[in-house]
Structure 1
Amino acid sequence: MESNQLPLRDIHLPEAIDWWPPALGWWLLAILIPLSIALMVWLYKRITRQTAIKAARKLLLQIKQDQQCDNSQKLKDLSALIRRVAISATTRNKCAGLTGQQWLEFLDQSVKGAPFTLGIGQLLANAPYQKSPPNEQDINQLTRLCEDWLNAQTKRKK
């Protein structure tokens, strides 16, 4: 047989692969990447929130056991500690600008009753403007209230 008479055809290239529909792997990536990003953000918030509360408990214990500080300094330290934890545990714009009665009402949202607006928690808003510093019993009650508030932060869901 001669080469001219053979039933051979020229090489045919396959058609180009279309971009749509994507393969299964691309669909999985499109689902898994946003899910993993959301999971990382959630974990980051949870870890930083837990860390802030643990550190606050240690600082609260230091404030409670510090014999060299006077009561007005302890009050200032407690106030600053509660403010820092509140900013770490919630969004900054929710509580950072609150003062006076609004601040106490925000703190009352985490605990039963109204111990900040109607009870010993009023020291946080009123004591800096008083002539005499708070007594030891008031500071001890306020410290216990701050402990209760911190415990409520671990139970509260964001």
Structure 2
Amino acid sequence: MAAPASLVLRDIHATAAPPWWPPAPGWWIVAGVLIATLALLAAWRARVRRRRIAIAALFDREVDAAPTPSQQVAAMSELLRRAARRHDAVADTLQGEDWLRHLDAAAGKPGRRAPVRTGFSDGPGRLLLDGGFRREVNPADVAALRVLARERFLQWMGVSR
């Protein structure tokens, strides 16, 4: 019987690491999904921004079109009533103090990021009761009401911040 032949052992050599470029197909898919998501997010934000600007411009245009301060108050009242219909079908039929309380109650809605000022029942918003029917209205009071009414209008139209 012959003696077994001795085996020669050699060192193990590791293979070279794969190159980082071009990436594997899975990474291309991940990159495509990420880019598409970012593009959709940017388009959505641009649409929201354009909508907010358009609605704010609508409010400003309607109020600026009124030639007198009392007609400006009437225009603000009409815009607020139209916006109120979006959330409550009978809100535009409220009168007097009930209407002012409804305007103030909208500020306390849950889920608001920033607090919305109240001031309809006990502030410049009281001008909505009879300001549209007065012969003379103080322009400073109308300016204070405009800030308050514009904020509530944008909130009810769903574009407030």
TM range (shorter): 0.5 to 0.7
Q: Secondary structure at the match of 2:70?
A: helix
| Aligned-pair Cα RMSD in Å | 2.6
> Where does residue 121 of structure 2 map in the other structure?
117
Q: Say which of 147, 150, 156 aligns to 1:147.
A: 150
Secondary structure, in 3 states, of the residue corresponding to 2:120? coil
Matches within 5 A, 1:54-65: 56-65=55-64
1:1-20 → structure 2 map (5 Å cutoff):
none
Q: Report percent identity of matched pairs.
A: 24
Q: Which runs of 4+ in 1 moved over 4 A?
A: 53-56
Q: Deviations over 1:79-124 (max 9, x none)?
A: 1111011112x1313x132100000000001224640000000011
The one-letter amino acid of 1:105's match is R
Q: Within the alignment, does 1:106 sit opposite 2:102 as a pair?
A: yes
Match in the other structure for 1:133? 136
Counting matched residue pairs gives: 101
Supply the AA of the counterpart residue of 2:149: C
Q: Distance in 2 between matches of 1:114 and 1:63?
A: 23
Distance 1:64 1:129 in 2: 16
Structure 1 CA distance for aligned equivalents of residues 99 and 139 of structure 2: 23
Unaligned runs of 5+ in 2: 1-50, 108-115
Is 1:56–1:81's contact at 8 Å kept on the other side of the alignment?
no
Q: Which amino acid aligns with 2:100?
A: L
Change in Cα spacing, 1:60 to 1:113, as seen in structure 2 (3 Å) is closer
Distance 2:63 2:93 in 1: 27
Output the amino acid matched with 1:144: V
Equivalent position of 1:96 in the other structure:
92
Uncovered stretches (5+) of structure 1, i.e. residues with no partner = 1-50
